[in-house]
Structure 1
């Protein structure tokens, strides 16, 4: 077997353009882009690209594109490549910073409008320059990689060659286009005549797998964190008959996991391909042939076609045969840009010194054994630790950063260090987009130093690891600092440029973000003033809301009811595509546990409590089974297992429409198990004697499932029992220290569970409301509507699957409104029917009682 195959030189192409972007139309009527209801062939995509190129004009320009997985962004990016302009890709949250640094000539605005700032470029653009890419992930470093037309074309052709991409392949986007790995997926499939399915959904979302199946996805790309999520959602048990291969890059994957996925792919009929690359090499430098993955999972494989490696001596390389890995090939960048003046430069590098220490095995495979540079990779993002130190340091608090792939350790020193720990933690998550689970922040008296006076980073890492971690101040205690609130705004609104004088309205907040920000502010402050949305951030810290009165006629609404109404709107709105606010179903699980403790675990004797629990289960299971049964009779969408609410236990492992009712099934399973447990007299006595400790113990057991220490037996729904137990414990928490302890558990266990910060924020905010607020204010005019939505939430959940798909094409808002109205109507009818049946039963019982007292006439 030949491990290194040279790539023949590409055919001569028109200077100054990227051939695959220019020649889209040659693939004719093959599908190219699938994005929601949009279906574009390669010919139609070429027409849109041509039209956008015409709008850009004839003179070469620097075109800023916010590289999200959006059709408009894709078209503008391709138009720049096809017409000889220079595309500048930036993460959406960093677009403003990049624009200020590089002054682009044209900008694609968030709403899809192309802003042409000038007819000709203000910059001198080198003829070979085609693309500028950020090199340090989300850390906002101004350093960009300068990539040429040949870089893009050569690397795309090489990847197509070693992966064997076909014109029938369809790649569902799991990574953003502003990340070079995600961009390479788009480039290669369009070059070959395949299709890309554009989405920002996470692999942790059930809707992603619905999309993967419905659109016939054949390829899946992931960074190491992606595979954490795949393990959680039961990927190994999914049935994906069209899947051809899974690729991994963006950091080192544990060899045991590489071997496991290679073997899983072999059994399921798809290839697992480990790859290695850097932005400076356009995307890829090496790949591990799938047939070698199980035997050599610790390696990155061989150079890509057309590329080569050398090992050069490095002072850090102590082991024999280890050196710095140096790559050469047609995909090596022109060089770096640190300012607009660098855009005029031609090639300044001919080889890529990767900064990685490696060795070559006897079989010709390369293995990465260490790193020279001050970079780490977290969730697939390459983080410049030196830049991070500069950005986080502030008067009174100097920051030093260390860590390894997958973890960032931050030490804060100085007079104000202790007070700044929370603010630094918030800024790392909000401004730089790094997952909180991977970041440790602590205050230190002083940094350990070497004899030469430099910071001793290995010793600093040990110091941070050993330091106890401070928990954030509990909700409502006035512990929120202005900087903490600024970081919160920056995180939730995607506005890292927020200042202490900013307001919610001034930062572009809308009705959707209003709810989420207000919930988080209330968790931070205990209460918020009525005019918080127009109040500067610095004035909000420590604020308390005045009593509502006057013409606003505010009422108090139970927090659990408000959460039920809000959560079901979020579920329906997300499924219908009106907006994306995930986590509603999981908040409902916690609310179910909260209400279970309040309404089912009363002081009544054990048999009475069990009878009430049985009634509660029936009120969920019976209407669910009746509705699903009716749908089965009228359509072929579901099956008998759905009617019996057994799909979660006995249904197919792959995620299909049969899993639409997972929430109902899991809730019934939990309630049945709890009823069986509390039916044991000794357990019943324990629960009564230790009303708070009992659910805390159950919470601990549930966390074993959340962290996959034990298998709770229900695939694809994620282990949600711990959220039910959390709600139960929240209802029993009668003292401040109990609520504080639960808050700490909540803050520690929710982040990182889904891999989606917005979803995790919604869950933490919603459940925290249960802990700290018995009621929430609600305008009197809305109280009735909110109450109806809360009461009918089960029926809305059951019926919306049959409502919104028929109205989405008209408008998502209509689909959401109709779904809510239908569920509320069915709930009203069910309530009336229940009242009628109950009344009839009572009359029959009375009649039997009368008959039983009549004299015997025999």
Structure 2
């Protein structure tokens, strides 16, 4: 790299406490060099975005010492690298100060003259394999990046990535090369202090991996005022094309560019970039080679036509890998050409698109896991194992009888992953192909098949596999991971009751906020056995309300108001299950899926009744009675509640599709809900005239305010919030039901319970009965009109019992259909989930804990 002192008084490193200009930086480096000793030595540095660490790193490079950059936030990785390579010097931060630990006088290693830098591959694979880089590699890549990004001396890049990560390190190299400034911080982009620092120091750029853009979506990045921002770079994994286009368009409007890049640690950092002017039309590609580099495609026998392995050539290609300290003395083994392991194709306009991988690596939580290395490590423990990558998990099949917990621990250590990210399957024989080779696709299939296996009831902490299987079964999902939550998998009010009951049975209790808690955290608590269980208040309200509705219709008693309480419960559950942290489009997808699960069974039932009896108009089967039906009361209005829920949720979902509304809701969820309460009161009090007849209490637009009150109840996080909602309930419900005081009391009481009481203790049997009634409440409502009418006068209690029974049976029938549909989609050719690789034949049978090939003892 160029001599830094030549940039004079220009700022180089900026923190909240100081600004170091280039002249001062050069002086600090010069003072640091003697502390590293004479002669070339292997220097391990714990990389952090800290002034003194960067000064020490640059001093080591300028003095010719090979630097091994270690993660500064992972003591285990640090200890592993020290044990594997025995560095001569270890440099780390201790209580805010940089400490130099001299472990050897001179050097214990034979170091090749070209060796300058050692990096772990893609973060960490848990193995001691390192990428060996030369000064030429580092210099040429920094020059290429500075050229295509047009980095200027006036630029100021704010650090968003760790220094030990090749992407974060390339930001440091390329900006120091051009005399630009680095604004050093460890704050997240979700922290307001990050953006205050960005604005205060006139930040012009920052770098992001795909997850960074998920965080930007959550904080309303498109509304931030960043007047000096010139460009954002993205690498570290594939960013969805639609998100690339969205951010590129946002940048076009706000005056900055998005630069999508592609690279690997083995190429120092970058190999390709997509020019900003091409993002709108070529967002699915990695673009073109960086200046000084080139691509070619090498044919692969089993790759699709037109694709091949992407081979990169350029001066930034590493010298090779190091597996042991002896490899530090080896020179260039690749001669400037890198087999990326990615399958790609080239478009007619010279741009490249990556379409898959050909080597045995797995990406788990963004880390590239060397599967053969993990298998080799397990072999060293006397295990015969085969590994595959799953959805954010490592799948390990182990032959013969072993302790699964011990295997998980060993695989976790070998891969560098947490234990919770490893799934172990004990098999009698490893699945193999017809040629006798390990069948990796069959190993991956073990995890997918296990999702439908019945869950065991553990006696200590719940097995994450059992919880995953439970979620997969109830939510009809094929992609369930330890990081999944009930909300993220599209859970809604129809499925949450069954899920909560079975989860409580599995765990022994129901954790607070279980619906937004990742599976891995649910499974950590030890199993608890209780005679009494807790039932969520909204579950109890649904169970009681449906009994009140049916019983009142049968004339067993007159306790009306249950349906209007259910409107509040619907709003409460809408807020809980559809207004999480997911992106706007994901929210919409889950909401529409939930509406479908309400509308379709309703339309099927009502349509069947029309076909058999001709009792209703076709508008009822289409759920259009509220729009096209008669003005006065008629039998078609029996299903007003279903129509109201469908109409209301669709309208709210449409509003939340508006970016501005979505941002406001995320920033002020409670007051946004109260705003909808205020809008609902316009029709409730007739300020916006909708229906002057008695049907007004059944009209979706008039009863909407009750749904909004439930929504606000769910978003109440303080006592003042709850008092505010309660005050509105008490003030607005009276007078709505034409003087029916008993109904008003029931509605006020039900809604206030929703506001103030989250759960109630009850005996196990009562809990289960309430769960069944709540789960089947929609179906009981749909079917009870056809059941009770012939029996109401002579056998009212029988009418109630049969109404409930038929509703429960219809609920079970719908559940079976959904489960079969999911299994058909999973098994039919061409219907695999994106990213999955279903084998053409089943090679193993699966039980909950042990699996084996056909005919084997399972």
If the TM-score is normalised by the length of the shorter chain, which range does it land in?
Answer: 0.5 to 0.7
User: Would the aligned equivalents of 2:408 and 2:422 in 1 still touch at CA under 8 Å?
Assistant: no
Q: Secondary structure at the match of 2:435?
A: coil
Q: Secondary structure at the match of 2:232?
A: strand
1:159 Cα shift?
0.5
1:170 Cα shift?
1.4
Alignment TM-score, normalising by the size of structure 1: 0.54
2:439 aligned to 446, 456, 469, which one?
456
- Look up the match of 1:102: 85
- Look up the match of 2:489: none
1:729 Cα shift?
7.5
1:669-684 to 2 correspondences below 5 Å: none
User: Would the aligned equivalents of 2:66 and 2:117 in 1 still touch at CA under 8 Å?
Assistant: yes
1:324 paired to 2:309? yes
Label 1:250 to 1:699 Cα distance change in 2 as closer, same or farther (>3 A).
farther
1:386 paired to 2:372? yes
1:182 Cα shift?
0.9
Label 1:89 to 1:470 Cα distance change in 2 as closer, same or farther (>3 A).
farther
- Look up the match of 2:693: none
- Look up the match of 1:761: none
User: Would the aligned equivalents of 1:176 and 1:183 in 2 still touch at CA under 8 Å?
Assistant: yes
Q: Distance in 2 between matches of 1:286 and 1:260?
A: 21
- Look up the match of 1:49: 29
- Look up the match of 1:377: 363
1:253 Cα shift?
1.9
Label 1:667 to 1:211 Cα distance change in 2 as closer, same or farther (>3 A).
farther
Q: Distance in 1 between matches of 2:764 and 2:68?
A: 52
User: Would the aligned equivalents of 1:325 and 1:357 in 2 still touch at CA under 8 Å?
Assistant: yes
Q: Distance in 2 between matches of 1:110 and 1:129?
A: 25
2:448 aligned to 444, 448, 465, which one?
465
1:410 paired to 2:390? no
Q: Distance in 2 between matches of 1:179 and 1:425?
A: 26
Q: Distance in 2 between matches of 1:32 and 1:25?
A: 10
Alignment TM-score, normalising by the size of structure 2: 0.54
1:207 Cα shift?
3.2
- Look up the match of 1:432: 416
Q: Distance in 2 between matches of 1:98 and 1:390?
A: 18
Q: Distance in 2 between matches of 1:71 and 1:440?
A: 37
- Look up the match of 1:204: 190
Which segments of 5 or more consecutive residues in structure 2 lack a partner in the other structure? 464-506, 511-523, 529-537, 539-560, 562-655, 686-706, 716-752, 769-858
Q: Secondary structure at the match of 2:321?
A: strand
Q: Distance in 1 between matches of 2:678 and 2:660?
A: 27
Q: Distance in 2 between matches of 1:304 and 1:159?
A: 7
Q: Distance in 2 between matches of 1:362 and 1:24?
A: 42
1:99 Cα shift?
0.8
1:234 paired to 2:220? yes
1:399 Cα shift?
5.5
Q: Secondary structure at the match of 1:207?
A: helix
Q: Secondary structure at the match of 2:14?
A: strand
Q: Distance in 2 between matches of 1:103 and 1:525?
A: 49
Cα deviation digits, residues 607-635 of structure 1 (max 9, x gap): xxxxxxxxxxxxxxxxxxxxxxxxxxxxx
- Look up the match of 1:790: none
May I ask how many residue pairs the two structures share in their alignment?
A: 537
Cα deviation digits, residues 745-789 of structure 1 (max 9, x gap): xxxxxxxxxxxxxxxxxxxxxxxxxxxxxxxxxxxxxxxxxxxxx
1:100 Cα shift?
0.8
1:187 Cα shift?
0.7
1:28 Cα shift?
1.4
Label 1:674 to 1:478 Cα distance change in 2 as closer, same or farther (>3 A).
farther
- Look up the match of 2:276: 290
- Look up the match of 1:349: 334
Q: Secondary structure at the match of 1:242?
A: coil
Label 1:82 to 1:108 Cα distance change in 2 as closer, same or farther (>3 A).
same
User: Would the aligned equivalents of 2:433 and 2:439 in 1 still touch at CA under 8 Å?
Assistant: yes
Label 1:471 to 1:200 Cα distance change in 2 as closer, same or farther (>3 A).
farther
Label 1:670 to 1:192 Cα distance change in 2 as closer, same or farther (>3 A).
same
Which segments of 5 or more consecutive residues in structure 1 lack a partner in the other structure? 1-18, 482-522, 527-539, 545-592, 594-605, 607-648, 682-693, 703-724, 741-858
User: Would the aligned equivalents of 2:673 and 2:711 in 1 still touch at CA under 8 Å?
Assistant: no
1:424 Cα shift?
3.6
1:668 Cα shift?
5.8
Label 1:732 to 1:232 Cα distance change in 2 as closer, same or farther (>3 A).
farther
2:116 aligned to 116, 123, 130, which one?
130
1:185 Cα shift?
0.7
Label 1:409 to 1:336 Cα distance change in 2 as closer, same or farther (>3 A).
closer
CA RMSD, 1 decimal: 5.3
- Look up the match of 2:245: 259
Q: Distance in 2 between matches of 1:148 and 1:133?
A: 11
1:684-699 to 2 correspondences below 5 Å: none
1:730-809 to 2 correspondences below 5 Å: 731-732=759-760
Q: Distance in 2 between matches of 1:155 and 1:38?
A: 29
1:178 paired to 2:158? no
Label 1:82 to 1:266 Cα distance change in 2 as closer, same or farther (>3 A).
same
Label 1:32 to 1:293 Cα distance change in 2 as closer, same or farther (>3 A).
same
